[in-house]
Amino acid sequence: MRRYMFLIAVATLGALLAGCGSVRPDDTASDGSLDRMDWDRDPGTIIVRLDARGTSATPAESLNAIPPCTLWGDGRVVWVTSGGSGQEQVLEARATDDTMRVFLQDIINRGFYTWEDELIPAEAGTGVTQTVSIYLYDELHTVQRSSNWPANGFDTILARCEQLSETPVLVLPWAGWVSAYPIERDDRLPHWYWPEDLDFTPADLVANGEARWLHGEPVEEIWGVLRDTVNRVQVIGPDEQAYELALAVPGISRDAAAPPPGEDHPRPTATPQDTPVPTPIPATEDAAS
């Protein structure tokens, strides 16, 4: 019954938006307040996530991959882009309530709740599965496709998600879960040697099949190595074996476990970065009517 009422509410809102044309942050109700759409404001609740998973990704690649864009209930938004030299950058910002409301209304107005999963899955080994998930009114709705999104929906929503704030900062996490996977050593590639002062090694992680909680400067170094997808730096352990590392950061990474008991939640240490300031999200003049 609750889901039935939810779908009626979504359909009604969609019809209202279609009839009104574009939606602007200053659209008000009769009592002067903004539109009544609301969401769970908990900082740990994901309201919108756009994700992409490669069908041939290794375990480390899956753990290291940051979803293209995620928006939490308190307005925190994290997305991925490329720096000037091609290295992957993870950016963080905070969106206002008005901007979030416009963004959510725009997604609905595009017909999101009428989209269906693609019947043919992504090609094994070479394909990428993309998903758009929205959590509203206690209901999680996800659409999964590998191509042919209605009205180029995935790319369009992603572009708007990346423009929810004019003041992004570069994410530099201070803590996370580190795991290791042995790979064949290639001396043609640049190397990063495991810090000698740590009380465990990549070989220990492999032997125990575990991820170890790590914080401080080594985390920033590992994060930099993993984000440098251009140079493909290899990690060399004290045993001279090459390893592929994974770093899962709570509040940033897709599948990161919660911090150990007694540890503060590892909010990323963000520093201003000098990439061009994104353009604020526009009104929905190009949304489907």
Q: What is the pLDDT of residues 136-170, one digit of tens each?
A: 999 999 999 988 899 999 999 999 999 999 999 99
Give the C-alpha separation, 277 to 41, whole Å.
26
Q: What DSSP designation does 151 have? A: G
149 φ, ψ (degrees, to nearest 5)? -70, 140
Neighbour order of strands in the sheet with 234-236: 191-193, 234-236, 242-248, 175-183, 212-215
Instruction: Give pLDDT, residue 35.
Output: 54
Dihedral of the alpha carbons of 63, 218, 252, 159, in degrees to the nearest 10: -90
Instruction: Give pLDDT, residue 77.
Output: 97
Contact 71, 164 (CB under 8 A): yes
| Percentage of the chain lying above the pLDDT 70 cut | 76
pLDDT, averaged per 10 consecutive residues of the chain (289 residues), comes to 45 43 38 64 96 89 95 97 83 96 97 92 74 96 93 96 95 94 95 95 96 94 91 94 96 91 64 45 47
Work out whether the CA dihedral 253, 254, 256, 257 comes out positive or negative. Answer: positive
Give the C-alpha separation, 22 to 154, whole Å.
20
Kindly report, residue by residue over 250-276, the tens digit of the pLDDT: 999 998 999 998 876 555 555 544 444
- At 62, list the tokens: 């899956």
* Domains of the chain as residue ranges with CATH: 2-26+36-167 (3.30.1560), 171-272 (no CATH)
